[in-house]
Structure 1
Amino acid sequence: MSTDHADTVAAPAAPVAASVATPANEDTPRGFAFGLTAYFLWGFLPFYLKAVAHLPALEVLAHRALWSVPVAGIVLLLLGRTKELKTAFRTPRMLGMACVTAAFITGNWGIYVWAVGSGHALDAALGYFINPLFSIFLAAVILKEKLSPLQIAAIGLAFVGVVILTWGAGGLPWVSLALTFTWGFYALFRKTLPIGPNQGFFLEVLLISIPMLPYVIYLEATGQGHFLAGNSYDTVILALAGIVTAGPLMIYANGAKLLKLSTIGIMQYIAPTMIFLIAVFAFHEELSGIKLTAFLFIWAALVVYTTGLLRQKRSA
């Protein structure tokens, strides 16, 4: 994804923002509007990635980072939230942690771009469906958080789904697992970065751009690039990468702090559901019996997980 969103308990396509509840810890109409807009935009992201599928995935990834820098920078200037960035640039430890999160999100974006472009959008959807459960697993193993019986059951069902896929395909579903692992570890480390979601995103894309800028310059100088190759379609669609990448994230970052964490945990299924439907009905990817069975186990796991969230919400 990329559902490209980040610090929820799980969170596509998806892809990078912190889920921060309001001090009053309540849902607001503005929060719902922002949240739904962001998740629907992430859900439609496969159409953009399909439109750039004729281009090398690494070149698309480079432009996503490069064009996100001015978009995110303008937003920060308009909001007057640049002070934290100055602190980050003067703090080696914070810069080092930002490099770690930037590496994980780069891997996630790159795999997602390649997956959709090469006809593996269904695998991408599966990865983002598994993501919430993997985040719970990481919280238990690394952060020593205690799992509820429902959470343990949900993880067990997801594991069965992965085993079924592995058996049916004769090997690990590496696209789904790679998206799950890169996003799960990204979200985990992102929580340790003491900076706001918008500022953190700007810092990450700025760091990613350091190697990507000379790469794009090299491509254009050697005639291998597509941005200045004379094809106006490629030029425009690559330039849109910044808005496509940064836009949903900025909207989500503002909505997350106006919603309860449990609400975000449930809303995060919107994007992978849309990716699944687009893969089957728009991209006409084959949904085999084995793959459908695996999805049924994952969906059952998410129902169990969501039931636990709703019970916590009622108790609160």
Structure 2
Amino acid sequence: MTPLRLGYLYGLVAYLLWGFFPLYFKLLRPTGPLEILAHRVVWSVAFVALLLAVMRNIGFLRFLLRRPRALAGVGAAATLIAINWFTYIYGVNSDRVVETALGYFINPLVVVLLGVLVLREQLRRAQWAALGVGALAVAVLTVDYGRLPYLALTLAFTFGGYSLVKKRLGLPAAEGLFVESAVLAVPALVFLGWLAASGDAAFGRVSAGHTVLLVLAGALTAIPLLLFAGAANRLPLTALGMLQYVAPILQLACGVLIFHEPMPPARLVGFALVWLALIVFTADAVRHARRNRRSRRDSEVGAAAAVPAPR
């Protein structure tokens, strides 16, 4: 299998797993969102530590400990992803899967907005148009919900911020996930210990299957992230960008078709505006990537023509 095809396979499997996450987290009831989050963190550390031990790649920790700014960045990334995970789990288990799907549809637009606000990037006109349509969609959905779709916005901004921090850190996927989870593991273990001591823990008290599902939350967290990293190393950015819509489409389908969450006309209009913004955004990204490839090819041809022929 060629690297490109392998990249598509990795990316598709990662987004399929993320797309069906609502089905998994529903199975973890009656466990509360904070307990699920704590188990997700603790078992992620255990799973990735085992993976790194097999890969014999623990030495990176010494390198990281000599970089205090990188450690601060890891702390920021860990905080953002913890908020994101908690919000998502809370949304799924409070029957708001449709709103969580909206968050991941909005996320690409938020990443562009963060590029302007934080990195001072200049946007093309099509990107500004996509952001404007996205803002209109949020306004329509606010009227429909009777409030800001705060779950969706929290998911979009925390994951957008997490992506920005991760891009600046430049850590490999497994190592980065291990350090982020390790930062969160101490408060997670303290919280789980307090729950067990107070008799409020669901772990080990519901059923054997439920306990196994909580333990597997660590692997289920790590595997899609590792597959995504493999895809990112093999695919063009535009291809990866188009694949990312697989997950929220599946999450939306789960919310509407499986969990029978309401989708009134006004909400459908809001989603349609989000999709229009994404179409504009994606079409512009594809057109810009093709233009860049053409420019590079023309430059290479021009450079080759300028080389004098051997005498």
* Global fold match (TM > 0.5): yes
Aligned partner of 2:31 among 52, 55, 75: 55
- Paired with 2:186 and 2:6, the residues of 1 have a C-alpha distance of 36
Output the aligned Cα RMSD. Answer: 1.4
- Pick one of 119, 131, 152 that aligns with 1:176: 152
Aligned residue pairs total 291
Q: C-alpha separation between the residues in 2 aligned to 1:27 and 1:237?
A: 33
1:149 shift after superposition: 1.0
Cα contact 2:30–2:202 (8 A) shared by 1: no
Name whichever of 43-52 and 228-237 sits farther off: 228-237
- Residue 222 of structure 1: aligned partner: 198
| Distance in 1 separating the partners of 2:58 and 2:279 | 41
| Aligned equivalents of 2:46, 2:66: Cα separation in 1 | 21
1:282 to 2:261 alignment: no
Q: Residues 84 and 195 of structure 1 are in contact (CA less than 8 Å); yes or no, is this contact kept in structure 2? A: no
Q: 2:67 matched to 1:91?
A: yes
1:311 aligned partner, one-letter code: R
Following superposition, the deviation at residue 84 of structure 1 comes to: 2.3
Q: What pairs with 1:225-244 in structure 2 (closer than 5 Å)?
A: 225-229=201-205, 231-244=207-220
Q: CA deviation at 1:27?
A: 6.6
8 Å CA contact 1:94, 1:194 repeated in 2? no
Q: Is the 8 A contact 1:262 1:313 kept in 2?
A: yes
CA–CA separation in structure 2 for the residues paired with 1:230 and 1:54: 8
Conserved 8 A contact 2:231-2:240? no
Could you report, residue by residue, the CA deviation over 1:234-289 in whole angstroms, capped at 9, with x for unpaired residues?
21111111111111111211221011111111111000010011110011100011
Structure 1 stretches of 4+ with a deviation exceeding 3 A read none
Which one of the candidate residues 30, 45, 61 is aligned to 2:6?
30
CA distance in 2, matches of 1:223, 1:214: 14
Q: How far apart are the structure 1 equivalents of 2:204 and 2:258?
A: 30
Q: Pairwise mapping of residues 141-152 of structure 1 onto structure 2 (< 5 A)?
A: 141-152=117-128
Superposed CA deviations along residues 98-130 of structure 1, whole A, max 9, x for unmatched, are 111100000000000000011100000001000
Structure 2 runs not aligned, ≥5 long: 294-311
Calculate the TM-score normalised by the size of structure 1.
Answer: 0.89
Between the aligned partners of 1:194 and 1:307, the Cα distance in structure 2 is 28
2:103 counterpart residue number: 127
Determine which structure has more spread, i.e. the larger CA radius of gyration. 2
User: In the alignment, is residue 196 of structure 1 matched against residue 156 of structure 2?
Assistant: no
Q: In structure 2, what is the Cα distance between the partners aligned to 1:123 and 1:98?
A: 28
Structure 1 residue 300 corresponds to structure 2 residue 276: yes
SS of the aligned residue for 1:192 comes to helix
Question: SS of the residue aligned with 1:240?
Answer: helix
* 2:261 counterpart of 1:310: no
User: How far does residue 192 in structure 1 lie from its aligned partner after superposition?
Assistant: 1.7
Per-residue deviation at 1:82? Answer: 2.6
User: Partner letter of residue 285 of structure 1?
Assistant: E
Instruction: Return closer, same or farther for 1:149/1:91 CA change in 2, 3 Å cut-off.
Output: same
Q: How far apart in 2 are the matches of 1:81 and 1:256?
A: 21
Q: Deviations over 1:178-214 (max 9, x none)?
A: 1111111111122221421221111001111110011
1:68 aligns with 2:57: no
Q: 1:156 to 1:96 in 2, by over 3 A?
A: same
1:138 aligns with 2:114: yes
Structure with the larger helix share:
2
**Does structure 2 retain, via aligned residues, the 8 Å contact 1:220–1:228?**
no
Offset, 1:304: 0.4
The verdict on how the C-alpha distance between 1:117 and 1:90 changes in structure 2, with shifts beyond 3 A counting, is same
Distance 1:202 1:235, change over 3 A: same
Alignment partner, residue 181 of structure 2: 205
Name the CA distance, whole Å, in 2 between partners of 1:141 and 1:40.
31
Query: Contact between 1:27 and 1:258, CA under 8 Å: does it hold in 2?
Result: yes
